[in-house]
């Protein structure tokens, strides 16, 4: 996998960091991108807001509806495993608001998913407690399955590339095209 990522990055000038990579590199910091969004220092597509929380549409949606719900002030609650008795009202409020958002987005009839990632192994890449509200399609189970070639791409620069090939040590050919990797047997 590393050889494929390096080849893609060096040849196509793209970042191949996965969400798992981002979670492993994330640090618990006092200020995060979500804190900046809550304070309106960074623009977001707001789906819901009240005195305690803010919900916005994810910029890298994993479903037709993917909304991130955050407390405006995390009160030391950087991850769910840090929850204490004094967070009970805030956590309850977030759950009720998540249900309101699901109804607002017309997800209730078909169903939806409520996700809180906790820590590196849980896939948490931003240490400001947040809830993912996902729906609008059939969601797979179990969540969190990965394959060695599950890569996401972010373009660093624009280079006209149609496709290229390389052979992995497993003798499987990989076709790399802009935004996609496919394996051939």
pTM score, whole prediction? 0.69
CA distance 99 to 173: 45
The pLDDT tens digits for 50-103 are 999 999 999 999 999 999 999 999 888 999 999 999 999 999 999 999 999 999
CA distance 134 to 107: 9
What's the confidence (pLDDT) of residue 162? 44
What's the confidence (pLDDT) of residue 3? 54
What's the confidence (pLDDT) of residue 2? 45
What's the confidence (pLDDT) of residue 26? 72
What's the confidence (pLDDT) of residue 122? 92
What's the confidence (pLDDT) of residue 20? 78
Which pairing describes strands 131-135 and 65-71: parallel, antiparallel, or unpaired? antiparallel
What's the confidence (pLDDT) of residue 142? 83
The 3-state secondary structure of the chain, one letter per residue: CHHHHHHHHHHHCEECCCHHHHHHHCCCCCCCHHHHHHCCCCCCCEEEECCCEEEEECCCCCCCEEEEEEECCCCCCCCHHHCCHHHHHHHHHHHHHHHHHHHHCCCCCCCEEEECCCCCCCCCCCCCCCEEEEECCCCCCCCCCCCCCCCCCEECCCCCCCEEEEECCCCCEEEEECCEEEEEC
Residue in 74, 87, 128, 130 annotated catalytic: 130
What's the confidence (pLDDT) of residue 28? 74
* 130 is an active site residue: yes
Q: Kindly give the parts of the chain with pLDDT less than 50.
A: 1-2, 5-6, 8-9, 12-14, 146-155, 157-185
């Amino acid at each position: 996998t590393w050889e494929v990522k390096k080849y893609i990055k060096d040849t196509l000038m793209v970042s191949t960091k996965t969400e798992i990579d981002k979670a492993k590199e994330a640090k618990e910091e006092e200020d995060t991108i979500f804190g900046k969004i809550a304070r309106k220092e960074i623009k977001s597509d707001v789906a819901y807001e009240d005195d305690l929380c803010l919900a916005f549409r994810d910029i890298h949606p994993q479903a037709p509806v993917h909304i991130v719900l955050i407390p405006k002030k995390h009160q030391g609650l950087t991850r769910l495993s840090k929850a204490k008795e004094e967070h009970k009202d805030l956590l309850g409020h977030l759950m009720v608001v998540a249900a309101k958002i699901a109804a607002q987005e017309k997800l209730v009839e078909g169903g939806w998913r409520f996700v809180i990632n906790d820590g590196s192994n849980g896939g948490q890449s931003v240490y400001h407690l947040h809830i993912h509200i996902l729906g609008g399609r059939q969601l797979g189970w179990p969540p969190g399955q990965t394959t060695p070639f599950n890569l996401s791409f972010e373009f660093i620069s624009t280079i006209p590339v149609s496709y290229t090939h390389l052979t992995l040590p497993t003798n499987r050919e990989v076709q790399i095209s802009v935004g996609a990797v496919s394996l051939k047997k």
